[in-house]
Amino acid sequence: MKLTAAFLGFCLFVGVAHAAVLPDPPEVNARAHLLMEFRSGELLESQNPDERLEPASLTKMMTVYVVFSELQEGNIRLDDLVLVSEKAWRAPGSRTFIEVGDRVSVEQLLKGVIVQSGNDASIALAEYIAGDETAFAGMMNSHAERLGMQDSNFTNASGLPDPDLYTTPRDMATIARALIRDFPDLYQWHAIKSFEYNGIEQKNRNRLLWQDESVDGLKTGYTRSAGYCLVASAARGDMRLISVVMGAPNAKRRTRDTAALLGFGFRAYETRRVHGTGEVLTKLRIWKGESLEAHLGIGEDLYLTLPRGEHDRLVSIIEVEEPAIAPIAEGAVRGTIRVRLDEELLAERPLVALHPVGLGSLWQRLGDSIRLLFR
């Protein structure tokens, strides 16, 4: 490795550099909570983020993820008609008021799940996709495992109480990020304030949709044993936050504490793209190649969330692997970039070739072979 003199973001300080002073986070009256930045995945504030808790209707976020996935894969369509079973019709709790024997479109059922939190609509979709709710729960768990939700287990599509149904605030933030990232167009349905089916209009239980125009989702939940739960997301400028509150004492408190968490996050922190995909971060001398150099960069955008005012103190240090001898494939790892704040390493990413470099002519290869002997 060769350490280059590339400091891609830096400031010079006279005297001692002082870290930003954060405001105090809000007090949250719940069993567990967290606040996470969407792009960077940085955990900004939390209490008991990995405690296994009953999710109630937060379960439906995973139900929706499975349905969105099936739509994306082309296995189902929004205009498919679903035959409502007696089991779906009899589902207790919150309902979309579908009737047994009716044929209801996937789109209507999805909106019934997302907006009205319909247990009946959730079961109808599960049966249509997987044959029965147990098999659908297996699909939910497969997606959860793939997404890295290590402390969740799903046993039904609705979130009705079950001793083997559990999740954590961190896992709920994970599925929230996945819904926003993987299905940006369909995710917008989480901002719908009301939905009418069978002549009955119901309002979205996420009251923040009326109180804060930056909030565009996601899901509420309640059972007597789970308490009041809310996963919310808000975007202001280039920053998006995800808040999870589980086990609040009442609906008003879950809304108030979620608003306080989001407000704290936007006041105290900012997210910036430190380096972008395809950005040329350094150039690497290539020996025996058809060109003398290759451009190096990172494979995906690097976002960092820091206290406000701290981004200007970041230092990016590049190390490259030398000598680099052709051929060099596009995407080949040829170094490392490390981003530091003072003595703390915040991020480390491989540097890859942004374009291929093929072998040079015979005379170029012979000449570079001689030059390398005296290098």
The Cα 9–Cα 40 span in angstroms is 18
Q: Which of 46, 60, 122, 316 is catalytic?
A: 60
Q: Is 94 a known active-site residue?
A: no
Could you give the angle at the alpha carbon of 187 between the alpha carbons of 231 and 60, nearest 5°? 50
For 187, the enclosing helix (H) or strand (E) is helix 184-187
Q: Is 193 a known active-site residue?
A: no
Q: Which of 40, 85, 94, 117 is catalytic?
A: 117
Beta strand pairing call for 302-307 and 282-287 = unpaired
Q: How many CA atoms lie within 13 A of 113 on its CB side?
A: 30
The Cα 86–Cα 199 span in angstroms is 20
Asked if 167 and 141 touch (Cβ cutoff 8 Å), the reply is no
Cα separations in angstroms, 292 against 191, 215, 326, 329, 356: 52, 51, 10, 15, 12
**Residue among 121, 151, 175, 136 nearest 54 (CA):** 151
Three-state DSSP class for residue 222: strand
Asked if 366 and 312 touch (Cβ cutoff 8 Å), the reply is no
Three-state DSSP class for residue 141: helix
Q: Is 40 a known active-site residue?
A: no
The Cα 155–Cα 171 span in angstroms is 16
**Residue among 166, 138, 168, 150 nearest 63 (CA):** 138
Q: Hey, which residues are catalytic here?
A: 57, 60, 117
